[in-house]
Structure 1
Amino acid sequence: MGLQWTILTYVVAAEAAVAFLLTLPSPKLLKSRLVSLVSLILQPSLFIVPFSTFQLLDLYWKNEHRLMCTSEICTATERDRYEKSIYKAQRNVILCVSACLFYWCIYRICKYNKEIQSLEVAEKRYKGE
């Protein structure tokens, strides 16, 4: 069960790094090449959205069917285990949401850069007339 969260953690870290690289100021040639490369990668990496959604649904189901340990009957170790599982679930929800959010941010950044490039081409064409 831990492998899927490790993979999701690495994907979120990679998405954050790509978003950071796309927002750094850089020369136009480098920026256009980077945007075109990331745009090519965006289509196959769309798998992260349904994967994250499935993980969120799994977390929700586990949360609804989790045994509660809030009464006086629970021992200290049971209460600690319960709280630890709650913290892990919260961390995993943040991972799933941030994976989808970073994917959307990267998609929008690439789309905006492509629109800017097309507007620059249109501007050059109108100036040439």
Structure 2
Amino acid sequence: MALQWIILTYVVAAEAAVALLLTLPAPNVLKFRIVSLVSLILQPAIGIVPFAAFQLLDIYWKNEHRMMCTSETCTATERDRYEKAIYKSQRNVILCAAGCFLYWCVYRLCNYYKEIQRLEEVVKKKKEE
């Protein structure tokens, strides 16, 4: 069970690093090479979205079927275990949302830089005429 969350954590960290790399100032030649490399990786990386959606469904199902521990019959240990499970599920929801959001950010940044490159080529052609 924990392996899927470790994988998701590493993917989110990699997406954050790529987003940071795309937003750092760099010469245009280097920036466009980085964008072309990241664009090649984006299509297979779309798998993070259904994976995160499946994890969200799993969290929802477990939350609906979790035993409530709010009465006075619960021991302190059971109450602590219940609260820890709630905190872990909240953390995992944030992780799933971050994975989808960062993928979208990287996708939009790549499209933005590609559009800039296309517009620069149009301006260059107009100047040559």
Normalised to the residue count of structure 2, the TM-score between the two structures is: 0.99
CA displacement 1:40-96 (0-9 Å, x = unmatched):
000011110000000001101111111000000000000000000000000000000
Shift of 1:111: 0.2
**Alignment RMSD:** 0.4
Shift of 1:126: 0.6
2:91 counterpart of 1:91: yes
CA distance in 1, matches of 2:105, 2:54: 20
Question: For residue 56 of structure 2, what is the aligned residue in structure 1?
Answer: 56
Question: For residue 81 of structure 1, what is the aligned residue in structure 2?
Answer: 81
Question: For residue 46 of structure 1, what is the aligned residue in structure 2?
Answer: 46
CA displacement 1:20-46 (0-9 Å, x = unmatched):
000000001100000000000000111
Unaligned runs of 5+ in 1: none
- The secondary structure found in structure 2 opposite 1:116 is helix
- The secondary structure found in structure 2 opposite 1:43 is helix
* Letter matched to residue 38 of structure 1: V
Unaligned runs of 5+ in 2: none
Runs of 4 or more, structure 1, over 2 Å off, are none
Question: For residue 122 of structure 1, what is the aligned residue in structure 2?
Answer: 122
* Letter matched to residue 116 of structure 1: I
Residue correspondences, number = 129
Normalised to the residue count of structure 1, the TM-score between the two structures is: 0.99
* Letter matched to residue 41 of structure 1: I
Aligned positions of 1:22-41 closer than 5 A: 22-41=22-41
Question: Percentage identity across aligned positions?
Answer: 74
